[in-house]
Amino acid sequence: MTIALDQNPDVLFPKDLLSDDYCGQTWYVAHVKSRREKVLADFLFRHTISYFLPMVKKRQASRNRVRYSLIPVFPGYVFMNCTITNRHNALKSNHVGRIIEVTDTETLVRELRQINQTLSVDKPIYPVDFLSVGQRVRVKKGPLKDIEGVVVRKDKKYRLVLTVTSIMQSLSIEIDADMVESV
């Protein structure tokens, strides 16, 4: 079922969750039951549990009109920053299949900041398979300056691939090859 764009849950709660000033709890990744990412985000919001659910706008097929939906960038996953008690509350919501413990919090937060910054750029974003090989680069100019990822070539165009290693998921964004430098 498609819902109005303004009725979707916020991508980030609270808004400063990924900032340096935010003093949160422990990071977890909720692996949700099928198509329950937004429902879990709404549950977490109503219970004041911090979360990050990266979403992109996608055009939906329709004969008579143009419709758009927000879809999760990483289907099946919601990132939570909470206490152990709130973790159990999320499990009791009946939307979570399992909880993934984050062992490298610093890396996860850095990767999520990059994903959040990338989502703010008005360019198409495409989910891709997780990549562990390839040249690691940093964007040296433009709105994605200082974002690090792996450059891959697809369909004669360059794409910058950003990964979230704790869930082995990636996304890509089209980029000019002259905008990146080796790390």
Q: Kindly provide the residue ranges of all beta strands, DSSP E only, lying in the chain, ordered along the sequence.
A: 12-13, 26-32, 50-52, 55-60, 67-72, 77-82, 96-101, 125-128, 136-139, 148-154, 157-164, 169-174, 180-182
The sign of the CA dihedral 71, 119, 172, 76 is negative
Token pair in block for residue 91: 């499990």
Compute the distance between CA of residue 161 and CA of residue 170 in angstroms, rounded to an integer.
Answer: 7
Among 143, 141, 163, CA closest to 151: 163
Residues 6+ positions from 90 with CB-CB distance below 8 Å: 28, 30, 40, 43, 44, 49, 80, 82, 96, 99
Task: Provide, rounded to the nearest whole percent, the portion of the chain with pLDDT above 90.
Answer: 60
Compute the distance between CA of residue 27 and CA of residue 70 in angstroms, rounded to an integer.
Answer: 24
Token pair in block for residue 128: 């891709």
pLDDT band at 151 (very low <50, low <70, confident <90, very high): confident
Selected residue with higher pLDDT from 5 and 88: 88
Among 121, 172, 114, CA closest to 146: 114
Instruction: Classify burial at 31, counting beta carbons within 10 Å of its beta carbon; exposed 0-12, middle 13-18, buried 19 or more.
Output: middle
Q: What's the pLDDT at 131?
A: 42
pLDDT at 1 over 60: no
Q: 3-state class of 180 per DSSP? A: strand
Q: Where are the domains of the chain?
A: 1-102, 104-178
What rounded mean pLDDT belongs to the chain? 88
| pLDDT tens figures, 45-90 | 999 999 999 999 888 877 888 888 899 999 999 999 999 999 999 9
Q: What CATH class does 1-102 carry?
A: alpha beta
| pLDDT tens figures, 104-140 | 999 999 999 999 999 999 888 877 656 444 678 888 8
Selected residue with higher pLDDT from 3 and 18: 18
Q: What's the pLDDT at 155?
A: 59
Contact 152, 159 (CB under 8 A): yes
What's the whole-number mean pLDDT along residues 25-32? 96
Q: 3-state class of 30 per DSSP? A: strand
Q: What's the pLDDT at 183?
A: 81
